[in-house]
Chain A
Amino acid sequence: MAYYDSLDNVRAEITRCMKCGNCQAVCPIYKEVLGESGVARGKIQIAKDLLEGELELTDKMQDIFSLCLTCKACAANCPCGVQPDKIILAARAELVRKKGLPGLKRQIFGVLGKPQRFKLGMGMAAKLQGFGLKKIPSSNAAHPRFPIGIDTRRIVRPLAKQSLLSRLPEVSKVSKPKQRAAFFTGCMLNYMYTEAGKAVVEVLNANDVEVITPKSQHCCGIPVFVHGDVKTAKAIAKYNLDIFAAGNYDAVITHCGTCIGAWVQHYPELLLDDAKYSKLAEQMAAKAYDVSQYLIDKVGLKEPTGQVAANATYHDPCHMVRGAGIAAQPRQVIESIPGVTLTEMQKPDRCCGGAGSFSLTHYPLSSQIRDKKIADALSVKPDMVLTSCGACRMQLEDGLFQAGSDVPVKHVVELLAEAYVKGGGRDSGQKTG
């Protein structure tokens, strides 16, 4: 059984915690709240008490378990190898099973469980968002006009008028393909950063990779899963696995820390006890790559010749660096670009505080964590901040805006695509629709 299916399944993980408190040193939330229920050690004790019947499920407990970025810093720093994120996710799932989802989440996740309705809803939202969002002049961002579940101080990317999936051709061919890769776009790219999505196809094509973008693919399901809705997450996992297993691809390419985590870690875990799907999930996990990882490790990156003069700094998305162990490859991509200097901030792998919807539900706390990240990034005086995740990107954009900075945030492969174009690369517009 997947460990999320019962709190009892993480009992051994809970017992392994020797309560040393080392997690305090690295937990971004603990650093702000300075309370034991904010850090892994305290949460593990609370989960233990819940398991042993000394505490019961309460709203307060829900609050406590919601205070986690799942950045996995505690797991990386734990001398006993405990993975507190698993315990916290299992506790969240237990809370949902026993107490149900709160009304708003139930509605949103209900729609997410139905890919066609979700698509339709997002399409409508893109058209109607002008009512809710107030554009910020001379930028590609907006403020909410009223608190539509989002703090009105924060800036967001408006939804793209046309989704990435509706713009990309099903097949982006190259003359002599070395590999055939399926592109899993994920929501941030599909609905917000569509240009970055186009860049993925361009750089893959430029490296002689034929790209297939299955039209009916859906959200990776992790946002649902981290909120404890394991049932919907499993359904979404199966849906995506069916779609991507149907084609004959050498690889599945993602572009986001959360999405890569879904394919390589969470799908196999979620579907552990499903005879058919667990095998499929394992097979697909073995072929899933982040785009930088794929270019460096599998394809052999074609070095760009176009110059991009810039001092760049790179932010490691938590689920990329600690979740999937991908840190060197994005940096290799950056350093391959002529004219680009990569200047590391002090703690490039410290969480930006975004954590998907955490930045929406806990905006003030999320902002405190983010501001530390932004100060660190700006301390190296970058011309641009690079990252490998759409959710981090949105958080960093908001942070830079709030700090009064106009330094742009880009995905690593967007910069690479730019370098290919400047080096006289293929005309991307034609190829990717």
Chain B
Amino acid sequence: MLTSKVIEQLVGALGKEKVFTDKEDLAAYSFDATADMPKVVPEVVVTPTSTREAQEIVKLAAQHKVPLYTRGSGTNLSGGTIPINKGIVMVMVKMNKILEVDAENLTATVQPGVIIQDLNDAVAGHGLIYPPDPGTIATATMGGSVAECSGGLRGLKYGVTKDYVMGLEVILANGKIMHCGGKTVKNVTAYDMVKLFVGSEGTLGVITEIIVKLIPAPEARKSALAIFRSLDDAAKAITGIINNKVIPATLEIMDNVTIKTVENYAHVGLPTDAEAILLIEVDGIPEVVEKEAEAVIKVCKENNGQLKIAQTAAERDEIWQARRDALPALAQLSPTTVLEDATVPRSKIPEMLKALRDIAQKYQLTIGTFGHAGDGNLHPSIITDETDIEEMKRVHQAVDDIFAVALELGGTLSGEHGIGIAKQKYLEQEFGEAGIEALRAIKRALDPENLLNPGKIVQP
């Protein structure tokens, strides 16, 4: 329980206008973007505007042993920012300065509250990009994105957030500030603490400054949409493209349920009898893009794919609109959309898709699957209604099955959404007992009192 003394001290440290205790304000921080999660109202919400203020908050939390939940925009999809043990919610969105764009070293230094799109806008003038591009790029913060190690549509070629974080400033659970990594391309000093904190979901420390790697913006890009009557053909095309030494920036898949739903929603002229659609984009130097596009087209044709190639920016937009419509179209079918994040080696995509079809049938559920085929990261989306208790039971069983299959196929529980609360119970299936103990040991070492985002990933 948080005492009025703690609130008084928070007000003393931050000023009244950065400390929220009204029930209505607190209610607005009782949830995040994850469906089917408990709603928990925090006891106080604070909005620091500097590292020093954030440090004061961590110190107060440590002194009074109060749970501290750090969050950005709250767009995460694993329950990672829900204040499950109440306590303090620390919102980082007001620490939103881009501190430096260093074009010579191809780095940017930002505060955690910077919106990813804003960073991209700021570096565009230098001809650079920050490649991780989660679907929430226009709303998600850099801090949240680093904490969750988010991915995105360009993951196949460009990787995920951890591949771009070079240095961090972190407030530890005891209130002390540590720095790790930096601007050097080569840095092998001691343990890789940067990688440890990236994806730690706020359980090991509070990130207050981030140095990221930037890359030159691709000069050209080419997009195509390929329609397949058979799932196996689509799968062969996916592996065929990569076997032909082409790594597309984006290689997305939509299954039949998704195709039908998108078509019904947006009427963009998709064939509703197709088993799968691939959306492919290659980017880079114009000559290379041409060559790679040719290879992609050839492979798709060889595998009975029907092709639509964008010739103009407008046509490219049209192709991507179908993918952008996937989630909204599915989401509009019913009140609740349970969006999962199962990931398999890309060669196992057809097996995974077939398994998902079986699971949908077994539990009599509608599951639309789309996602990042090129990197094996699928988003089976279960269309349901939270208020239907009987159906939700089946949903939970289906989710159990989905992760069991993904792991059996040599996959992982998360490609980009993290573990949070949502996938805790499966963690041991992936990590094993020894692995879980190692995770716990790290948590205990860095946060012995279990104050930082408690209740997420592993219990101490």
Please name all residues of chain B whose beta carbon is closer than 8 Å to the beta carbon of A80 when the two chains form the complex. Answer: 328, 331-332
Report the interface size class on chain B.
Answer: 35 or more
Determine whether the beta carbon of A54 is less than 8 Å from that of B33.
no
Determine whether the beta carbon of A45 is less than 8 Å from that of B28.
yes
Mark B6-38 against chain A: 1 for CB-CB distance below 8 A, else 0. 000000000000001011110111111111000
Please name all residues of chain A whose beta carbon is closer than 8 Å to the beta carbon of B75 when the two chains form the complex. Answer: 20-21
Please name all residues of chain A whose beta carbon is closer than 8 Å to the beta carbon of B73 when the two chains form the complex. Answer: 21, 24
Please name all residues of chain A whose beta carbon is closer than 8 Å to the beta carbon of B29 when the two chains form the complex. Answer: 36
Query: In this assembly, does A112 line the interface, its C-beta being within 8 Å of a C-beta of chain B?
Result: no
Q: Which of A21-54 contact B (CB under 8 A)?
A: 21-22, 24-25, 34-37, 42-43, 45-46, 49, 54
Query: In this assembly, does A61 line the interface, its C-beta being within 8 Å of a C-beta of chain B?
Result: yes
Q: A21-B74, A21-B75, A21-B136 are in contact. Are A81 and B24 (CB under 8 A)?
A: no
Please name all residues of chain B whose beta carbon is closer than 8 Å to the beta carbon of A43 when the two chains form the complex. Answer: 28
Determine whether the beta carbon of B139 is less than 8 Å from that of A46.
no
Query: In this assembly, does A58 line the interface, its C-beta being within 8 Å of a C-beta of chain B?
Result: yes
Query: In this assembly, does B47 line the interface, its C-beta being within 8 Å of a C-beta of chain A?
Result: yes
* A35-B28 Cα distance, complex, nearest whole Å: 9
* A43-B20 Cα distance, complex, nearest whole Å: 16
Mark B116-155 against chain A: 1 for CB-CB distance below 8 A, else 0. 0100000000000000000010110000000000000000
Query: In this assembly, does A19 line the interface, its C-beta being within 8 Å of a C-beta of chain B?
Result: yes
Query: In this assembly, does A15 line the interface, its C-beta being within 8 Å of a C-beta of chain B?
Result: yes
Determine whether the beta carbon of B31 is less than 8 Å from that of A22.
no
Query: In this assembly, does B218 line the interface, its C-beta being within 8 Å of a C-beta of chain A?
Result: no
Query: In this assembly, does A276 line the interface, its C-beta being within 8 Å of a C-beta of chain B?
Result: no
Query: In this assembly, does A1 line the interface, its C-beta being within 8 Å of a C-beta of chain B?
Result: no
* A24-B141 Cα distance, complex, nearest whole Å: 11
Query: In this assembly, does B337 line the interface, its C-beta being within 8 Å of a C-beta of chain A?
Result: yes
Determine whether the beta carbon of A18 is less than 8 Å from that of B31.
no
* A60-B94 Cα distance, complex, nearest whole Å: 22
Nearest CB in chain B: distance from A15 CB, A:
5
Interface size (A, Cβ < 8 Å)? 27
* A58-B24 Cα distance, complex, nearest whole Å: 9
Query: In this assembly, does A64 line the interface, its C-beta being within 8 Å of a C-beta of chain B?
Result: yes
Closest B residue to A31 by CB, please name it: B115
Determine whether the beta carbon of B28 is less than 8 Å from that of A21.
no
Q: Which of A1-19 contact B (CB under 8 A)?
A: 15-16, 18-19
Please name all residues of chain B whose beta carbon is closer than 8 Å to the beta carbon of A60 when the two chains form the complex. Answer: 22-25
Query: In this assembly, does B335 line the interface, its C-beta being within 8 Å of a C-beta of chain A?
Result: yes
Determine whether the beta carbon of A35 is less than 8 Å from that of B24.
no
- Counted as pairs of residues, one from A and one from B, with CB atoms less than 8 Å apart, the total is 80
* A21-B74 Cα distance, complex, nearest whole Å: 7
Please name all residues of chain B whose beta carbon is closer than 8 Å to the beta carbon of A42 when the two chains form the complex. Answer: 28
* A15-B332 Cα distance, complex, nearest whole Å: 11
Determine whether the beta carbon of B139 is less than 8 Å from that of A49.
no
Contacting A18 at CB < 8 Å: which of B28, B94, B136, B337?
Answer: B337
Query: In this assembly, does A120 line the interface, its C-beta being within 8 Å of a C-beta of chain B?
Result: no
Please name all residues of chain B whose beta carbon is closer than 8 Å to the beta carbon of A34 when the two chains form the complex. Answer: 47, 91, 93-94, 96, 113
Determine whether the beta carbon of B74 is less than 8 Å from that of A36.
yes
* A34-B31 Cα distance, complex, nearest whole Å: 16
Query: In this assembly, does B327 line the interface, its C-beta being within 8 Å of a C-beta of chain A?
Result: yes
Contacting A20 at CB < 8 Å: which of B20, B33, B335?
Answer: B33
Please name all residues of chain B whose beta carbon is closer than 8 Å to the beta carbon of A20 when the two chains form the complex. Answer: 33, 75, 136
Determine whether the beta carbon of A19 is less than 8 Å from that of B31.
yes
Contacting B327 at CB < 8 Å: which of A35, A45, A79?
Answer: A79
Determine whether the beta carbon of A45 is less than 8 Å from that of B136.
no
* A35-B113 Cα distance, complex, nearest whole Å: 12
Mark B69-86 against chain A: 1 for CB-CB distance below 8 A, else 0. 000011100000000000
* A61-B28 Cα distance, complex, nearest whole Å: 12
Q: Which of A206-260 contact B (CB under 8 A)?
A: none
Please name all residues of chain A whose beta carbon is closer than 8 Å to the beta carbon of B27 when the two chains form the complex. Answer: 45-46, 49, 54-55
Q: A20-B75, A42-B28 are in contact. Are A25 and B139 (CB under 8 A)?
A: yes
Please name all residues of chain A whose beta carbon is closer than 8 Å to the beta carbon of B32 when the two chains form the complex. Answer: 19
Contacting A37 at CB < 8 Å: which of B28, B96, B139, B331?
Answer: B28
* A21-B34 Cα distance, complex, nearest whole Å: 11
Q: A22-B136, A22-B139 are in contact. Are A37 and B25 (CB under 8 A)?
A: yes
* A42-B32 Cα distance, complex, nearest whole Å: 10
Please name all residues of chain B whose beta carbon is closer than 8 Å to the beta carbon of A55 when the two chains form the complex. Answer: 23-24, 27
Nearest CB in chain A: distance from B134 CB, A:
11
Most B Cβ at <10 Å: residue of A18, A36, A54, A81: A36
Q: Could you list some 30 contacts between A and B, CB below 8 A?
A: A15-B335, A16-B332, A18-B33, A18-B336, A18-B337, A20-B33, A21-B74, A21-B136, A22-B136, A22-B138, A22-B139, A24-B139, A25-B115, A25-B117, A25-B139, A34-B47, A34-B91, A34-B93, A34-B113, A35-B47, A37-B25, A43-B28, A46-B24, A46-B27, A49-B27, A58-B23, A60-B23, A60-B24, A80-B331, A81-B328
**Which A-B residue pairs are the 6 nearest by beta carbons?**
A42-B28, A79-B328, A36-B28, A25-B138, A21-B75, A37-B28
List A residues at the B interface (Cβ < 8 Å). 15-16, 18-22, 24-25, 34-37, 42-43, 45-46, 49, 54-55, 58, 60-61, 64, 79-81
- Contacts A34-B47, A55-B23 known; 9 new A-B pairs at CB < 8 A: A18-B35, A19-B33, A19-B35, A34-B91, A36-B25, A36-B29, A36-B74, A42-B28, A60-B23
